[in-house]
Copies of this chain bind each other. A is one copy, B any other.
Amino acid sequence: MDSSLHAAPAVPAGYGLETVVRHTYERTRTDTSGALADYIPELALVDPDRFGIAAVSVEGEVVSVGDADVAFTIQSISKAFAFCLALEVAGREKVLSRVGVEPSGDAFNAIVFDAETNRPFNPMVNAGAITVSGLLVEHLGADALDFVLDRFSAAAGRRLVVDEAVFRSEAETAHRNRGIAHLLTSAGALTAGVDATLDLYFRQCSILVTAGDLARMGATLANIGENPLTGTTAFAVDAVRSTLAVMFTCGMYNFAGNWAFDVGVPAKSGVGGGILGVVNRQLGIATYSPRLDGRGNSVRGIAAFRELAEELGLHLF
């Protein structure tokens, strides 16, 4: 079989990756619509005008434009990486006995479980992500956070830390997530204890990253688990494949189908303002712009990804 079609460069001849990223940045930067997340005070205090794009290829090309080195909390983007780690640590079978991999059409904070299995629909909604954190605590105990930080750091290529102020704010105010954790415990999907699980979950969501970090982490996924810049293995090969599949079908919540239709790459967004996209075997791409649309996705991030997908021919199909 001739797969030469796949060998076509994602970037049209004559336009380097950096040129396309830079043009995309310029064309989308003027959109100041959307609003900062404000459910905790820390998120409402960031500079709303920040905007950065970074891309890292599996061959080691690095592109960085605008505020690509400004730190923000990873928030829900952590769900994809934590799921990848849980597959490695707890094993595929156990993970799938606790959380499904079906898109649900629901919003990120839905409390609906799959009626047939009594499991959360998938690891990208809060209920499923809390279940995943519970699996990490169940298997790693008090070492779970260090394990998460080590692996995330290996993927980012630098030592990542938790924003303790954001963590405390999340932990103090998240009655909805605490409610979900108790319901998960009642349903048997969570056995590691509500407090220990949420402690890991909120800290994992409060890890500080830059667009550059996320692009490197995405390139690590694109490179089947090995950081292409450092050569360090951060994730298991099989787990990466499964993670990318779930990111593609469920990563953008109730916008996932539209994203798959228009942009066509596995992705994950966070209310901190980041969006991560992975072009399999090719690129990690990340945007940072903290003004969000009504679904909680970064406005300029989505615009930039649409344009990059068009210009670079990123769509899977």
Chain B residues, CB < 8 A from A246:
257, 260-261
Asked whether, in the complex, the Cβ of B101 is within 8 Å of the Cβ of A105, the reply is no
Instruction: Identify the closest chain B residue to A266 (Cβ).
Output: B317
Asked whether, in the complex, the Cβ of A257 is within 8 Å of the Cβ of B102, the reply is yes
| CB interface residues, A 220-275, toward B, < 8 Å | 240-242, 244-246, 248-250, 254-258, 260-261, 264, 266
A114-B105, A246-B257, A280-B317 given as contacts; is B8 within 8 A of A1 (CB)?
yes
Most B CB contacts (10 A, CB to CB) among A182, A240, A266, A315 go to: A182
Asked whether, in the complex, the Cβ of A121 is within 8 Å of the Cβ of B105, the reply is yes
- Indicate if A179 sits at the interface (CB-CB under 8 A): yes
Most B CB contacts (10 A, CB to CB) among A7, A9, A10, A313 go to: A7
**Measured CA separation A179–B198 after assembly (Å):** 13
Range of interface residues on chain A? 35 or more
Chain B residues, CB < 8 A from A17:
1
Question: Closest approach, in angstroms, between the C-beta of A255 and any C-beta of chain B?
Answer: 8
**Measured CA separation A260–B243 after assembly (Å):** 11
Most B CB contacts (10 A, CB to CB) among A3, A240, A281 go to: A3
Asked whether, in the complex, the Cβ of B281 is within 8 Å of the Cβ of A6, the reply is yes
- Indicate if A11 sits at the interface (CB-CB under 8 A): yes
Asked whether, in the complex, the Cβ of A1 is within 8 Å of the Cβ of B12, the reply is yes
Question: Closest approach, in angstroms, between the C-beta of A206 and any C-beta of chain B?
Answer: 19
Asked whether, in the complex, the Cβ of A257 is within 8 Å of the Cβ of B101, the reply is yes
Chain B residues, CB < 8 A from A194:
175
The 5 A-B residue pairs with the shortest CB-CB distance, nearest first, are A6-B6, A179-B182, A102-B257, A103-B103, A179-B183
20 A-B pairs within 8 Å (CB atoms) are namely: A1-B9, A1-B12, A1-B17, A3-B281, A6-B6, A7-B7, A103-B104, A105-B105, A122-B257, A174-B186, A175-B185, A176-B183, A178-B179, A180-B183, A241-B264, A244-B317, A249-B260, A250-B257, A280-B317, A316-B316
